[in-house]
């Protein structure tokens, strides 16, 4: 197995952490926006509830946590 350069290993590690953190923050803002902006009339016209949207953002938070965990777990 070919060894990676230390710079590349650190870049991958920081990329995973940064991508995970960005996904988490985006999901939190999306959850807040869903509760603030989606009203009962909108739910009927869109055919989707705000709880479904929040569920999608919860999945995004889990993915972000997984990416950040992988980044912290990697050795530099």
Is there a domain that residue 36 lies in? yes
pTM here is 0.83
| pLDDT reading at 3 higher than 70 | no
d(CA 70, CA 76): 12
Range of the domain at 49: 26-76
Output 23 or 76, whichever has higher pLDDT. 23
Is there a domain that residue 75 lies in? yes
Tens of pLDDT, residues 13-42: 999 999 999 999 999 999 999 999 988 888
Number of domains in the chain: 1
State residue 1's pLDDT score: 43
Q: Measured in whole angstroms, how far is the alpha carbon of residue 16 from the centre of its chain?
A: 11
47 dihedral zone (left: phi>0; alpha: psi -120 to 50; beta): left
């Amino acid at each position: 197995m070919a060894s990676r350069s230390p710079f590349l290993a650190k870049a991958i590690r920081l990329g995973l952490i940064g991508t995970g953190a960005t996904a988490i923050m985006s999901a939190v803002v999306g959850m807040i926006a869903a509760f603030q902006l989606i009203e009962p009339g909108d739910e009927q016209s869109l055919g989707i509830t705000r709880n479904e949207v929040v569920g999608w953002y919860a999945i995004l938070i889990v993915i972000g946590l997984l990416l950040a965990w992988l980044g912290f777990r990697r050795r530099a």
